[in-house]
Structure 1
Amino acid sequence: MTGDLIEHYGTDLIEDTRLHRSPHGRLEFLRTQELIRRHLPAAPLRILDVGGATGVHAAWLAADGHDVQVIDPVPAHVEASAQLPGVTAQLGDARALDAPDRTADVVMLLGPLYHLTESADRARSLAEAVRVLRPGGLLVAAGISRYLTLLEMGSDGNLTADAEPSLRAVMTTGSYDGHVGFLPSHFHTADELVAEVRTAGVNDVIVYGVEGPTWAALDTAGMAAFDGLVEAAIRGARLTEQDPHLINASAHFLAVAQTPVH
């Protein structure tokens, strides 16, 4: 998987623009930022951004006054992150963190849980995050919805009969085969993400739908319409962020949990 990540992300730094180049990417960034800030204690905190890519979230966290370290398997990502003010970066693997026990206030896994296609690897990454967190520390983990490509392809006119088997597979099993150009990955349901994070031994797992049900409509409207539509889309996302009937219509999930104090 590491070699595939380097090949996919490491040549043209596409992760550097992913959250800015499309309307739904912009919505994802704004809502992820909002949800993380909602749960963070006051600065300064020691934050490990595991799988943090080029530091798109590390940058604003550092600007908020936190001590942020990006850990990523892609050399080009580490190089880019290390250039950001207030951010340090190192090569690393979410499944085996080069960090001491109980030294971080926050660990963010905003990419590893969908890039790690085997459940045992996801469990190892969550266990490593919990290991390095201080008692009462905050775990933040992202997942991709099993319904993302259905909603995307159904909205942009690309849902054909040929695409149906792949869509049925990802909706049923979570196994995404890369049919719209992304790496083969594991896509979650909200309930599945709760269950996986809970097995790491944390307390009070909360999973939010990040973008809400209108993100695909933003893409259909196009970038020129974004500024006029984004406020309503964010309000819709907030209204449905924990609605059991609509949470899986978000493109991404964000799980938040706390390590035991004792």
Structure 2
Amino acid sequence: MNSDVVQHYATDAEAVRLARSPHGRLEFLRTQELLRRFLPASTAVLDVGGGTGVHAEWLARDGHAVHLIDLVPEHVDAAAELPGVTAQVGDALDLPVPDAGYDAVLLLGPLYHLTDHADRARALAEARRVLRPGGVVAAAGISRYLSALETGADGTLDVNLLPSVEAVIATGRYDGHVGFTPTHWHTADELRGEVHSAGFGDVEVYGVEGPTWAALDVAGVEEFPARVHAALHCARLVERDPALVNASAHLLAIARA
């Protein structure tokens, strides 16, 4: 991963992103829900690209032994202070841990920052290498339709923005037109195929936020408590619906080694 990614997260930590917007809060709740559904109890978890430990913290509280790897040294230092969490600097493309040492590997950020298909395949292969037989991988992607739904809902989609939105839907190459760094955005089928090609079985892709996240953002943070329960029900209802899964802002592939 390049220095731009390190710089981005050094100044805009994942924990802040998940708290400041309604859809970020919904993403956190649903990611937590999905991981709790599929992770074995009291297991050894490798959190790759885990930042300051926004997920490692609650996973450790749930009884998991969590080891976090991140590119940003300051994030690693912060995560290492969390009870039940160990941490070290490292890269998803060359994990500094031995083979078959973990029951679960989380890739909740690395894949979309790896804009070359070969690098995503390598990161998934590394995840498979460090998993024990039957272990679980949870690999996140950003939906290609995120900016279309966001800008269509908030009123900013215009003729000037259309070419960039059309391009990311067609190719997955995101150019930064609604903020964030240039990344690769997936469809559910593409994410499923990449995980399967890395040698994982029983691959399922879930829509994380469901189709209501953009409406939550338009309503604003003050409306979140009143609307979140309906949004959660909706997300669960259509989480694997092939007609709506890509309407989530994020996708989560769950598979076994």
Cα distance in structure 2, aligned partners of 1:73 and 1:98 = 12
Which amino acid in 2 is paired with 1:141?
A
Q: CA deviation at 1:86?
A: 0.9
The residue aligned with 1:211 is: 209
The residue aligned with 1:146 is: 144
Match of 1:46 among 41, 44, 67: 44
Do residues 102 (structure 1) and 89 (structure 2) align? Answer: no
Contact 1:2 1:73 (C-alpha < 8 Å) held by counterparts: no
The residue aligned with 1:191 is: 189
The residue aligned with 2:17 is: 18
Structure-to-structure mapping, 1:183-262, within 5 angstroms: 183-259=181-257
* Structure 1 gap segments, 5+ residues each: none
Contact 1:50 1:70 (C-alpha < 8 Å) held by counterparts: yes
Contact 1:52 1:70 (C-alpha < 8 Å) held by counterparts: yes
Q: CA deviation at 1:84?
A: 1.1
The residue aligned with 1:137 is: 135
Contact 1:54 1:80 (C-alpha < 8 Å) held by counterparts: yes
Cα distance in structure 1, aligned partners of 2:152 and 2:196 = 33
Please report the TM-score for the alignment, with normalisation by the length of structure 1.
0.97
Cα distance in structure 1, aligned partners of 2:27 and 2:6 = 23
Cα distance in structure 2, aligned partners of 1:134 and 1:249 = 33
Cα distance in structure 2, aligned partners of 1:224 and 1:252 = 23
Q: CA deviation at 1:16?
A: 2.5
* Structure 2 gap segments, 5+ residues each: none
Which amino acid in 1 is paired with 2:18?
L
Cα distance in structure 2, aligned partners of 1:57 and 1:16 = 9
Q: CA deviation at 1:153?
A: 0.7
Q: CA deviation at 1:228?
A: 0.6
Do residues 171 (structure 1) and 198 (structure 2) align? Answer: no
Cα distance in structure 2, aligned partners of 1:75 and 1:58 = 16
The residue aligned with 1:5 is: 5
Do residues 127 (structure 1) and 125 (structure 2) align? Answer: yes
The residue aligned with 1:112 is: 110
Please report the TM-score for the alignment, with normalisation by the length of structure 2.
0.98
The residue aligned with 2:75 is: 77
Cα distance in structure 2, aligned partners of 1:133 and 1:167 = 37
The number of residues matched between the two structures is 257
Alpha-carbon displacement from aligned partner over 1:182-222 (angstroms, at most 9, x marks no partner): 10000000000000000111110010000000000000111
Match of 1:139, SS state, is: strand
Match of 1:65, SS state, is: coil
Which amino acid in 1 is paired with 2:28?
F
Cα distance in structure 2, aligned partners of 1:86 and 1:157 = 44
Counting aligned pairs with the same residue, the percent is 65
Q: CA deviation at 1:157?
A: 1.2
Match of 1:213, SS state, is: coil
Match of 1:65 among 41, 63, 71: 63
Contact 2:207 2:248 (C-alpha < 8 Å) held by counterparts: yes
The residue aligned with 1:31 is: 30
Contact 1:5 1:74 (C-alpha < 8 Å) held by counterparts: no
